[in-house]
Amino acid sequence: MKYHSGYPVTHKSAVMFSSANVLDEDVCLPAAVIKKTELINNISWMQRYADSRGVSLAPHGKTTMTPSIFLQQQHAGAWAIGVGSIWQAGIAMQCGISRVLMANQLVGKGNMQLASDLKLQYPQVDFICCVDSIENVRTLSYFFSEHYQTLDVLIEIGVNGGRCGCRDTGDALALAREIACLPGLRLRGLELYEGVLHGEDAEVKIRELLTSAVTLACDLEPYVSGEFILTGAGTVWYDVVCDVWLSASKPSSCRIVIRPGCYITHDQGIYEVAHRKLLARDSVACELSGDLVSALELVALVQSVPESGLAVVNFGKRDSAFDAGLPLAIAHYRHGKKMIDPQGRLTTSGIMDQHSILRMPDGYDLKVGDLLVFSTSHPCLTFDKWKKILLVDDNYCVIDELSTGF
């Protein structure tokens, strides 16, 4: 096999040989990989779900920050790509995304200047961000009117103890009236994120929030330019958002937009659990062909077996999410040959910056140099630890190196 000359390498999972296969250790490990078949499946499934419900899809791109994935989502029918910052918005615009929904407030002179520059450089892009205070809209109005530009905004509503957003309908209406009187701003609709509500009664609280929001939308309609954008829904409750808003009285020209993000690679952790609950609630999702499947994996090497029942693997907090459960070993290979299924036998018990600790039963056949494949929970925090994600086929042959924009 030919050595792929290219030193110095530019990222930590560099491909070192031509015709590279991850299981043959032709790349520097650990490596984050996305399985192409599963990725295509998930993009298609969520778009078909949105289409079947009659809503628009604006996948939250901050999950992957991977331009090639943004473009695949747009090509599949996504109405917009969602982002969380003006930097992320710029990454989306640069790669050819035609509509960018920043589900966050635009604050700070530097950030406003970047937004202004992007509007000049990409005038064809429909860019929309959120507002929730009189102070912010006055600052934005002054800045963008001075630059002879118009900024499109959504009013965000929130909940007590949550994050951003107007806390009551009176404040939201006052904000709408203020925007209507100010130059340089155009109100496009209403935004919320129901995922800040937790607990055993989360669904009840979310339905109440959604009902209040759609009622407020009708009151805001006179202040909105063009169609009314009504948007919410992360990866957990998008079915409930559809149920409540589709059945309610709405502004006469209303576009409902859902913004799930982590579906793109799914997982075998918190989002798998959430998806099973969604399927139990939602007949539409059940009737769609196929299902969401885990597409993002971490491939690593056993670097030490220093004592009985314990092994050390060469990945850590710098490589993998660990906030919603530690990575789970799902496959074991030795010299490219698949070994016994490690699930239920190998347990990740600890994680440090560059090391993870595995516990295993006495007699389990695990050796230094063995290769382990892990699933992770909460893909957002795995993606942002990698400059490049390796796109692989069903046999773990490397198809492409996907650049991220964190």
Same domain, 83 and 98: yes
* pLDDT value of position 5: 59
Same domain, 183 and 325: no
Choose the final residue of a domain: 267, 284, 307: 267
182 and 137 in contact (C-beta within 8 Å)? yes
Domain annotation covers residue 173: yes
Quote the DSSP letter at residue 206. Answer: H
Instruction: Give the CATH number of the domain where residue 121 resides.
Output: 3.20.20.10
Domain annotation covers residue 313: yes
Q: Is the dihedral of CA 178, 89, 241, 63 positive or negative?
A: negative
Instruction: Give the CATH number of the domain where residue 333 resides.
Output: 2.40.37.20
Q: Domain count of the chain?
A: 2
Same domain, 330 and 384: yes
Encoding tokens for residue 355? Answer: 């090391």
Q: Give the ranges where 57-182 is alpha helix by DSSP (H).
A: 67-76, 86-94, 109-121, 134-146, 169-181
* pLDDT value of position 85: 97
* pLDDT interval class at 6 (50, 70, 90): low
Same domain, 149 and 262: yes
Same domain, 27 and 86: no
Same domain, 384 and 252: no
Q: Which domain holds residue 309?
A: 22-34+292-403
Same domain, 123 and 262: yes
Encoding tokens for residue 92? Answer: 């989306």
314 and 362 in contact (C-beta within 8 Å)? no
- Rounded distance, CA 21 to CA 335, Å? 12
| CB half-sphere exposure, 219, CA atoms < 13 A | 17
**Tens of pLDDT along 229-275?**
999 999 999 999 999 999 999 999 999 999 999 999 999 999 999 99
pTM, two decimals, is 0.94
Same domain, 111 and 202: yes
Q: Is 337 helix (H, G, I), strand (E, B) or coil?
A: strand
- How many helices and strands (H and E) does the chain possess? 11, 18
Examine the pLDDT at 376 and tell me if it is beyond 80: yes
Examine the pLDDT at 114 and tell me if it is beyond 80: yes
Same domain, 237 and 297: no
Same domain, 47 and 28: no
Q: Comparing 200 with 153, which gets the higher pLDDT?
A: 153
If residue 52 lies in a helix (H) or strand (E), which one and from where to where?
Answer: helix 36-53
Same domain, 61 and 183: yes
**Tens of pLDDT along 44-93?**
999 999 999 999 999 999 999 999 999 999 999 999 999 999 999 999 99
Q: Which residue has the tokens 């205070």?
A: 133
Whole-angstrom CA distances from 32 to 2, 331, 389 are: 23, 15, 5
* pLDDT interval class at 395 (50, 70, 90): very high
* pLDDT value of position 1: 54
**Tens of pLDDT along 276-319?**
999 999 999 999 999 999 999 999 999 999 999 999 999 999 99
43 and 263 in contact (C-beta within 8 Å)? no
In terms of Cα–Cα distance, which of 74, 130, 81 is closest to 260?
A: 81
Q: Is 222 helix (H, G, I), strand (E, B) or coil?
A: helix
Q: Is the dihedral of CA 238, 69, 288, 53 positive or negative?
A: positive
In terms of Cα–Cα distance, which of 369, 383, 234, 252 is closest to 314?
A: 369
Same domain, 45 and 141: yes
